[in-house]
Amino acid sequence: MDKRMSNIISFFSLRKSLMLIIIVLGLTLLNTKWLSSLNFSLDQRSREFSESQLLLESKSEFEGREKELEAFSAFTKAEKNDSKWADVIPGLVADHRLILRQIRPGGEQRKGQFIQEELMVQVDGSIQSFLGFLHALTALEKPIYVSRYVVTARSVGTGFISAEMNIVYLNIKK
Amino acid sequence: MSIFRKETSKLIGVSLLSGDTLHFAILKILNGGSIQFLARKDFQVMKLTAAERKHEMHLLLAETNTKNIEFRHLVMRDRAFTKQFQFPSRNMVEIRQMLRLRLPREIPSAIDEIVYHFHQVKSESKIANIQTTVLLFGVSKDAVNHEYDILRSFGIMPNHIILTTVALSGYLRKTHDATHHLPALLLFGDRGKGEAVLFDAQGIQMSRTFSFDLTDLAHSTDQSVRPILDALDQGGDERSYSMYLAGELYKTEADWLVTRHTIHTLPQAELNPLPMDFLFMAGAETPDEECDEFNLLPEDVKGRIYTANVQKSWAALRASLVSCAVAILLVSVFFSLRTLLGVSYLNRQISILNPDVKEVKDISRKVKFLNRLRLDKIRPIDVFVRIHEQAGSEIQLNELDYNSEDKSIRLKGISISQSAIDRYVKELGGIAWFSKAELQYSESSRDAKDLQFQFAVRASLKSFD
C-alpha cells in the first residue's frame, strides 16, 4: 500500500469521518434554514419589485392632476392654522338660522394613514337651513365633512327637524 | 463450393509501450492466414492530455470503421523474468491449482510487488503422455499498473497481456514451417534492445535479452550475443539449432555469426517489416490462451493485504459518504448563493426604483386623500337630497340616519299607500350611492281619519375604497 493511500485511510478514520459527516450535515441543515429564509426574502423582494414596477407604470395616471395636488397642498397648508377648526361651526350654524342645541368634541381616531378629529353637533331648524348648513360645510376649503347624521322630523310635514351630526376633520399630517 | 464459404476475419488491436511512446496497430487476420495492417500509429503519451488521448484513439478506430476489436498488450521481455513449467494435465483449472502450489517453492524470492502471468506454450495430447507447458512471467506490479493506466486513458482495455518472447516464438512457429529445423533460435532486435529465444516442440527452452549498437552491429553483437550463443553451445553441437534473425538484426552481416551458423530466411523477408510491425504481427498471431494472475505472498502477508484492502474499502466507503455529504452541502450552498445573488440583485433594482416609487406613492396617497375627502364631503348632502327627492308627495319621512362608518342608511316614514312605499324602496335602490335598499318593515295604523302605513328602510352605501 502506498503512502498516499495510507494517508487517505488514516484521514478517513471512522471517528474523523463521523465527525466530518456530522459537521457537514449540520452545516447543510443550517444552510437549508438560511436558504429557506433567503427564499422567503426573495419572494418578498420580488413581490415588492413587481409592485414598484406596477406603481411606476401607473405614474402616467397621475399626470394632469396638478390642480388636485394643489388643492391638497392648500389643505395641508390650512391644517397648520386649523388647530381651532371647531370654532367655525357655531358661526356656520348661526349663519344658516339653525338653533345650536349641543356641541362637544368626540376625540381623535386613527384610520389607516389618516387621523380623524370628531365634533358632535346637535341643531334644530328647517330642512332648508340644514341643507344650507351641509352645503356650507362641503364648500369649506378644509378637510371637514359629516360622517354621520340623524335627522328627525320634529313634526311630520312641517319641515322642522332636529339633527345630530358627527363632523370630522380629516388630518393627514400627523 | 468455395463461393458458399463464409469469409471470416478477425480484428486485433495490438499495443506496446516503449518509454513514453504507445505503439498501436489494428491488424486484420483473414481466415486464409494472411495478415493485413488496417491502421498504425505511435502516440507520444506525455504530450497528450487525457481528452486528447481518447480523441486520438477514437479517430484511429473510426478510420478503420471496425467494431469488435480484440485488444492485446505486449510486454517487453526486458521488463519481465520468466520460468517454464510442465504439468501432466490439459485442464487449465487443474494447471492453475498446481501452479499455485508449486510457485512458492519454485520462486522463493516472490515479493508482493510482482504480478505473475502465464502462457500456455505447448500442449501435447497423447494417450500415455498428456503434458502442458506453460511459461510464467513476472512483471512489476507498478509497471503493469502504469501500463494499464495509460491504456485506460486511451479508452482501451486489453483482453490479453502477452510477453514478446511468447509472441515471437509462436509467430515463428506458425508462419515458418520450422518443425524441420527445431530447435530454433530467434534473434530479434529493436532500437538497440534484443531478445534471444530458443524454442523447440516442447516450448521455449531459453530466453535472454541483450543490447546492441545499430551503428556498429558486428562488433556490438559480438560482445552481447556471442556469450549467449557460447553458453548454449557449451552443452553440445553448436549447429544443433536453426538460426533466425528479425527486426533490426535481420540484415546483420557480422562475420562471427554468419560463418558460424546457417541463417534461415523468414517468410516476411520480402516485406522487410519494421521491427515494431514484426512484433505487432507476432502479437496478433499469438493464439488466445488461458491466462491468470498469481499472488505468491505468504498467508500472513495475504491476511495483511486482505485487512488493508478491507480497510481501504471501508475508507473508500467513508470517503464516499463524506464526499456525498460535502457534495450535498456544496449544492445547497450553491443554491443559497444563487438565491442570495437574486435577493441582492432585486434589492439593487428596488433601490434604483425607490425614489420614483416614493414619489408615486406620495402622489397616490395625496390623490387617495383628496378622493376620499371629496366623497365624504359630497355624499352626505347628496344622499340627503336624493332621498327627499325620491320621496315625492306620497311619502313623508320622519327620521333619516346616515352613517358613513357603517356604510348604512336607515330611514323611517309614513305613507297612505303601501304601493307608494314599495315604489319608493325600489327607487331608492336605483340611487347610485347605494348598493342595495330593502324595506325592513311596513305596518298599517289608523289615525283619526285615514289608514296610514309606517315603514322603515335600510340601505347600504357602496364602497369606493
Nearest CA in chain B to A139: B377
Grid cell 495483511 is found at: B304
> The sheet that has B9-18: what strands, in order across it?
B35-44, B21-30, B9-18, B70-75, B160-163
With CB atoms and an 8 Å threshold, state whether B405 touches A147: yes
A48/B318 Cα distance (integer angstroms): 46
pLDDT at B2: 43
**Cis before residue A90, ω within 30 degrees of 0?**
no
- B366 contacts in A (CB within 8 Å)? 68-69, 72
3 state SS of B12: strand
A166/B93 Cα distance (integer angstroms): 112
Of B321, B396, B397, the CB nearest to A21: B321
Q: Between B294 and A57, name the one with better pLDDT.
A: A57
Half-sphere exposure at residue B249, Cβ-oriented, CA atoms within 13 angstroms: 30
- B409 contacts in A (CB within 8 Å)? none
Please provide residue A69's backbone torsions phi and psi, each rounded to the nearest 5 degrees.
Answer: -65, -35
- A68 contacts in B (CB within 8 Å)? 366-367, 370
pTM more than 0.80: no
10-residue mean pLDDT profile of chain B (465 residues): values are: 55 89 89 81 90 89 78 86 79 79 67 69 60 79 82 85 84 66 81 85 80 83 84 64 81 71 64 78 76 58 71 85 91 93 92 87 80 86 89 86 90 88 89 88 75 89 78
| Cell numbers placing B347 | 434589492
Q: In this structure, is the dihedral angle defined by the CA atoms of residues A144, A150, A156 and A162, taken in order, positive or negative? A: negative
- Alpha-carbon separation of residue B334 from A35, A91, B221, B273 (angstroms): 10, 73, 68, 60
CB-count exposure of residue B400 (10 Å: 0-12, 13-18, 19+): buried
- Residue B305 carries which DSSP code? H
3 state SS of B404: coil
| Cell numbers placing B427 | 327607487
Of A12, A38, A170, the CB nearest to B336: A38
A106/A19 Cα distance (integer angstroms): 70
Single-letter amino acid, residue B144: V
With CB atoms and an 8 Å threshold, state whether A151 touches B381: no
pLDDT at B293: 62
CB A69 within 8 A of CB B368: no
Residue A27 has pLDDT above 90, yes or no: yes
> A131-135, A137-141, B215-219, B301-305: lowest mean pLDDT where?
B301-305
Task: Give the other-Cβ count within 10 Å of B397's Cβ.
Answer: 22
Tell me the CA end-to-end span of chain A in Å, nearest whole number: 82
Q: Comparing C-alpha atoms, which of A125, A128, A126, A118 is closest to residue A89?
A: A118
- Mention every residue, 6+ apart, whose C-beta is less than 8 A from residue B361: A55
Which ranges of chain A does DSSP label H, i.e. alpha helix?
Answer: 3-11, 14-57, 66-80, 88-95, 127-139
Q: Grade residue A26 by pLDDT with cuts at 50, 70 and 90.
A: very high
Return the percent helix, strand and coil in chain B, to nearest 5: 45, 30, 25
pLDDT digit string, tens, across residues B35-63:
888 888 999 999 998 889 989 888 888 87
Q: Comparing C-alpha atoms, which of B361, B383, B371, B399 is closest to residue B434?
A: B383
With CB atoms and an 8 Å threshold, state whether B349 touches A25: no
pLDDT at A173: 58
Which ranges of B65-112 does DSSP label H, i.e. alpha helix?
Answer: 92-106
Q: Comparing C-alpha atoms, which of B287, B22, B37, B17 is closest to residue B167?
A: B287
Q: Comparing C-alpha atoms, which of A156, A149, A154 is closest to residue A131?
A: A149
With CB atoms and an 8 Å threshold, state whether B404 touches A52: no
